Amino acid sequence: MPGICCAVGCDNSRQRNPGLQFVSIPKDLDRRNKWLAAIRRDHWQPTSNSRLCSQHFVSGRKNDNPMSPDYIPSLFAHTSAGQRQRSIYATSRFEHTQQMKRKRTETLVPDSDHETVAPSSTSDATGLDITLVEQVECVKDDHSYSQAILSSGIVEPCSNAACQATVKALTNECARLRAEVNCLKDKVNVLSFNEEAFKGNDEMVQELTGLPSYAKMMVVFGFLSGF
């Protein structure tokens, strides 16, 4: 059975590395092309005997879930340090999301016949019956949020404490940045060399032009504009 890794610069083999898995190149055309693009082996087409070792997957194994970063191999000799870190983080985030999904499944509400079923609806403060129709995964920068889309068109805020803390921190950071931008705008306006900046500020006029006052400066400008 073939057992030599096909990745450029990788010399792993079944004989030397019995603890590794060696997987074949996918037959699905779309996924196959993505694998070939990731492997970056010029003028090469894999055969039925071609194998890729599990060291090229962040989790140490390929994953057939299209949402997983390990659906496509990402660790190669040509992978930059930044790309490597992003792949590692993305895989960690995906595994955390999957773990949270499993926990939610395990805590579903049992019905009267002791069968495990998910609650199909809830009510808001006004007594409106709201039915959960879909759950979607939203990825924002460095955090994953699970949100429920309601039949009323309302998005239910995430109840996870970590999500709420992250949202609060981001909101505070946005407010701080807005205040900083406004402060910088004020400074720019003060430092701008336009008529409004000099108006009523004889000290600035004298320091920057040598003229005794704003009025004298405007007389000089008026005189020069005639030429």
Q: What is the pLDDT of residue 194?
A: 63
> What does the angle CA 33 – CA 48 – CA 35 come to, to the nearest 5 degrees?
20
Q: What is the pLDDT of residue 78?
A: 93
Reduce the DSSP state of residue 108 to 3 states and report it: coil
pLDDT of 209-222, one tens digit each?
888 888 888 888 77
pLDDT of 84-121, one tens digit each?
999 999 999 999 988 888 888 877 655 555 555 544 44
Q: Is the pLDDT of residue 19 over 80?
A: yes
Reduce the DSSP state of residue 193 to 3 states and report it: coil
Query: How many helices and strands (H and E) does the chain possess?
Result: 6, 6
Q: Which residues contact 208 (CB under 8 A, 6 or more apart)?
A: 193
Whether the CB-CB separation of 40 and 8 falls below 8 Å is answered with yes
pLDDT of 111-149, one tens digit each?
555 555 544 444 443 333 433 333 334 434 444 444 444
For residues 101 and 32, what is the distance between their CA atoms, to the nearest angstrom? 29
pLDDT of 170-224, one tens digit each?
888 888 888 888 888 877 766 666 666 677 778 877 877 888 888 888 888 777 7
The domain locations on the chain are 22-105, 160-192, 193-226
Query: Residue 16 carries which DSSP code?
Result: T
The better pLDDT of the pair 113, 79 is held by 79
The better pLDDT of the pair 44, 146 is held by 44
